[in-house]
Chain A
Amino acid sequence: MIAAILSKPARYAIVSLLASTVVTASPGLAGDIAVRDALGREVVIADTSRTLSIGGAITEVLVALGLEQRITGIDSTSTYPPTAVKDKPNVGYLRQLSAEGVIGLNPTLILAMDSAGPKQTMQAIESAKIPLVLIPEKLTEQGLLDKIRLIGHAMNADASANCLATAVAEDFDQLRQLRAKIDRPLRVMFVMSLVNGQAMAAGRNTAANEIIELSGGVNAIDGYDGYKSINDEAIVAAKPDAVLTIRRSRDTFEADAFYAHPGFALTPAAKNRVFVAMDGLYLLGFGPRTPAAARDVAATLYPQLASQAGDFKPKAASAVCRP
């Protein structure tokens, strides 16, 4: 709220500044691009030279499309690829953006996940008349391909985006073939955090749920939506064969914490010591690396598939889709 108030003078300054650039760019020229964003609004984009990327997956796509020169700033969830993001100005966490911080970078286009916020900041950005494209977060294969094409279209890089989307689609095909070799899907529980013995596990309609299914597993929790505190006895009743979590720093220690937990200790996962910890953005980001992340999970869950998983060379990583 304070940010919104403070930014008022800044907003006027930027608006007048933009007004002058708009005159020179004169709207309606052939160079303008119209995209329909997550809210169904039509956003007209005239200039992509200073693009602010709010969301780890968006940044990854932009870099894969060879557009890192046009990224004028990122948010704190944009951690990959490290070489491309380390020198970019950072506007903070995507749900706690400050209007002044965002507008102060003088972006000509903002690409943001539709979860970006807070509301006041988004309103301030809109009233500053900076083109803002909210990218829908659909946690499906098709949703990911659409996301890549939408970002590409907004950046006037449709050809590169089609190239990347094709590569990612091929990776999903390879992943599908890998999944077909799984005879008995494992029950996997994704645990967001384990604080003071209290576990928070992913239910349906979560990125974690999708990644479990993409890697040929079954989410052990189907009793609720989203990430919630789970009952210790329900952990036992869910009978997970494996625990999947986000890597912090020392994996072995985390694994021990799970095996020592009264609920997890009684599960097949603890008996067989199947524990997978991965980088958060890689695992849950739903960017171009998602098929590779699912492959890595599958290779750990199903050791018999490890050699075939090794043959799976993600095309998205090597595809040359730069203009």
Chain B
Amino acid sequence: MTVMEIGRRRVARSFRPRSGVTLAVLLVLLLICLALALTVGAAGIPLSRLPAALGLLPAADAGPMAARDQMVLWSIRLPRILTAAIVGSLLAASGALMQGLFRNPLADPALVGVSSGGAFAAASSIVLLDHALGDNLRFLQDHLLPVAAFAGSLVTTIALYRIASRAGRTSIALFLLAGLAIAAIANAGIGVLVYLADDRQLRDITFWMMGSLSGANWAKASSTALVLLIALAVFVKVARHLDLLVLGESEAFHTGVDVERLKRLSIVLVSLMTGVAVSVCGVIGFVGIVVPHLLRLLIGPSHRLLLPASACLGAVMLVAADTVARTIVAPAEMPIGILTAAIGAPFFLVILLRQRKLVGL
């Protein structure tokens, strides 16, 4: 009996919140979080100067610092906060999707090696750029790392899918186990790169592996937003089918779900979402596992509500974590992956302990 099934039963006999209300509450929470994030930062724009910085005041009343504030806000802080929100959505929603697909509340793109594959490719690009071969790729410099991270995630997922599918059927258990093996291989590869790297590359790889939203800009915000829009559109299509999949693959098939197509679509989408998130900000763990978990306890397992709600709460969590990351040790910056792991992992453990009896562990 999985946590999800328990959640289903529990929710079935208790109050089921209406999806509109839940989403509205989460959206308001997100707006509050965004507004708070907007007011703090290393460049310090006090609340009194915020309206001018946002361009809400006419130029005459704006004051002497308005031009600088406006630039900091619009070219650094705002794109970063938005990128954090979108990446948080992608991570949490891809976690929710993968858990639905595997009917396993512990599934997570990081767990099946998709993040590790992306991280290995990204670390390779860091080391490669300093070698002779890298000179020929230097025109790609700005794009090599994100492209590599995305390609790494995609290749990992495709390899996993190939391993796990035979004669048109996909074995979820094989997928999970092969994922663990691939994660180990990717981590070994990262280990080799760490060994080969010199001091500077070593710092680059280590910091990048811990995740950061530093260097977010409008281009990153908009490209991630596009992926999120695609994901939300697909969610509308797959949510009901994922609910039916909980019954089991053959049961779902008999209710008219094209199970193989659903799996393919979901796997491609998960790798797209994870790959884009990893390429923008490195490896940020535990958002994808904690957020859907928490929501399932609060609102039940129906994917029609769970997927968009996960996207919302994931955004809240990452915006909050990033706000702490970029202010707590200013002018330096704390890697955000440390924060999400430090908060997320104990939280996850508490959920597990509370559910221990129910899940029969």
A250: which B residues are within 8 A, CB to CB? 135, 138
Given known contacts A197-B214, A230-B332, A266 and B76 CB-to-CB distance under 8 angstroms: yes
A243: which B residues are within 8 A, CB to CB? none
Chief secondary structure at chain A's binding surface:
mixed
Which residues in chain B, 86-100, are within 8 Å of chain A measured between CB atoms?
Answer: none
Pick from A193, A221, A230, A266: contact of B71, CB below 8 A.
A266
Contact B333 A229 (CB under 8 A): yes
* Interface 0/1 of B94-109, CB less than 8 Å to A: 0000000000000000
Which residues in chain B, 256-273, are within 8 Å of chain A measured between CB atoms?
Answer: none
Complex Cα gap A237–B43 (Å): 5
Tell me which of B110-118, B172-180, B199-207 binds A: B199-207
Contact A223 B331 (CB under 8 A): yes
Tell me which of A45-53, A257-265, A298-306 binds B: A257-265
Complex Cα gap A196–B335 (Å): 14
Contact A262 B146 (CB under 8 A): no
CB distance from A260 to the nearest CB of B (A): 8
A263: which B residues are within 8 A, CB to CB? 76, 215
Asked whether B216 is an interface residue with its Cβ less than 8 Å from the other chain, the reply is yes
CB distance from B278 to the nearest CB of A (A): 11
Asked whether A15 is an interface residue with its Cβ less than 8 Å from the other chain, the reply is no
CB distance from B336 to the nearest CB of A (A): 11
Asked whether B212 is an interface residue with its Cβ less than 8 Å from the other chain, the reply is yes
Contact A224 B332 (CB under 8 A): yes
Complex Cα gap A32–B43 (Å): 60
Contact B72 A266 (CB under 8 A): yes
Complex Cα gap A195–B280 (Å): 11
Which residue, A196, A199, A261, has most C-beta atoms of chain B within 10 A? A196
Contact A224 B331 (CB under 8 A): yes
CB distance from A218 to the nearest CB of B (A): 15
CB distance from B347 to the nearest CB of A (A): 25
Asked whether A80 is an interface residue with its Cβ less than 8 Å from the other chain, the reply is no
Given known contacts A193-B203, A197-B214, A249-B135, A233 and B146 CB-to-CB distance under 8 angstroms: no
Asked whether B61 is an interface residue with its Cβ less than 8 Å from the other chain, the reply is no
Contact A261 B200 (CB under 8 A): no
Contact A200 B204 (CB under 8 A): yes
CB distance from A189 to the nearest CB of B (A): 11
Contact A227 B203 (CB under 8 A): yes
CB distance from A219 to the nearest CB of B (A): 12
Which residues in chain A, 187-210, are within 8 Å of chain B measured between CB atoms?
Answer: 192-193, 195-200, 203
Asked whether A95 is an interface residue with its Cβ less than 8 Å from the other chain, the reply is yes
Asked whether A236 is an interface residue with its Cβ less than 8 Å from the other chain, the reply is yes
* Interface 0/1 of A224-240, CB less than 8 Å to B: 10011111111011100
Given known contacts A232-B76, A233-B41, A196 and B208 CB-to-CB distance under 8 angstroms: yes
Asked whether A69 is an interface residue with its Cβ less than 8 Å from the other chain, the reply is no
Contact B333 A230 (CB under 8 A): yes
Pick from B41, B138, B331: contact of A238, CB below 8 A.
B331
A233: which B residues are within 8 A, CB to CB? 41-43, 72, 76-77, 326, 330
Asked whether A248 is an interface residue with its Cβ less than 8 Å from the other chain, the reply is yes
Chief secondary structure at chain B's binding surface:
helix
Pick from B44, B80, B141, B330: contact of A253, CB below 8 A.
B141
Asked whether A16 is an interface residue with its Cβ less than 8 Å from the other chain, the reply is no
Which residue, B130, B207, B331, has most C-beta atoms of chain A within 10 A? B331
Given known contacts A193-B204, A266-B72, A266-B75, A223 and B332 CB-to-CB distance under 8 angstroms: yes
Asked whether B156 is an interface residue with its Cβ less than 8 Å from the other chain, the reply is no
B325 to chain A: closest residue by CB: A231
Asked whether B79 is an interface residue with its Cβ less than 8 Å from the other chain, the reply is yes
Contact A196 B145 (CB under 8 A): yes
Contact B138 A231 (CB under 8 A): no
Complex Cα gap A295–B79 (Å): 40
Asked whether B198 is an interface residue with its Cβ less than 8 Å from the other chain, the reply is yes
B282: which A residues are within 8 A, CB to CB? 196
Complex Cα gap A200–B146 (Å): 18
Contact B141 A231 (CB under 8 A): no
Complex Cα gap A229–B281 (Å): 13
Which residues in chain B, 176-207, are within 8 Å of chain A measured between CB atoms?
Answer: 195, 198-200, 203-204, 207
Complex Cα gap A248–B44 (Å): 34
Given known contacts A223-B330, A224-B332, A266-B75, A192 and B200 CB-to-CB distance under 8 angstroms: yes
Asked whether A93 is an interface residue with its Cβ less than 8 Å from the other chain, the reply is yes
A142: which B residues are within 8 A, CB to CB? none
Contact B146 A196 (CB under 8 A): yes
A246: which B residues are within 8 A, CB to CB? 200
B122: which A residues are within 8 A, CB to CB? 196
Complex Cα gap A184–B335 (Å): 36
Pick from A193, A234, A248, A265: contact of B332, CB below 8 A.
A234
Given known contacts A249-B138, A261-B215, A200 and B76 CB-to-CB distance under 8 angstroms: no
Asked whether B340 is an interface residue with its Cβ less than 8 Å from the other chain, the reply is no
* Interface 0/1 of A163-196, CB less than 8 Å to B: 0000000000000000000000000000011011
Which residues in chain B, 133-188, are within 8 Å of chain A measured between CB atoms?
Answer: 135, 138-139, 141-142, 145-146
Complex Cα gap A196–B129 (Å): 12
Contact B76 A93 (CB under 8 A): no
Asked whether A127 is an interface residue with its Cβ less than 8 Å from the other chain, the reply is no
Asked whether A140 is an interface residue with its Cβ less than 8 Å from the other chain, the reply is no
Asked whether A96 is an interface residue with its Cβ less than 8 Å from the other chain, the reply is yes
Complex Cα gap A203–B332 (Å): 9
A224: which B residues are within 8 A, CB to CB? 329, 331-332
Complex Cα gap A238–B204 (Å): 22
Asked whether B217 is an interface residue with its Cβ less than 8 Å from the other chain, the reply is yes
A-B contact pairs, 7 of them (CB 8 A): A93-B199, A198-B208, A224-B331, A231-B42, A231-B332, A233-B72, A262-B79
Q: Which 8 A-B pairs have the closest CB atoms?
A: A197-B215, A234-B331, A233-B43, A234-B42, A233-B42, A198-B214, A223-B331, A228-B332
Q: Could you list 8 further interchain pairs (A-B, Cβ under 8 angstroms) beyond the known A224-B331, A234-B330, A236-B71?
A: A93-B198, A195-B145, A197-B216, A199-B215, A231-B214, A250-B135, A253-B138, A260-B142
Q: Which residues of A contact B (CB under 8 A)?
A: 76, 93, 95-96, 192-193, 195-200, 203, 221, 223-224, 227-234, 236-238, 246, 248-250, 253, 257, 260-263, 265-266
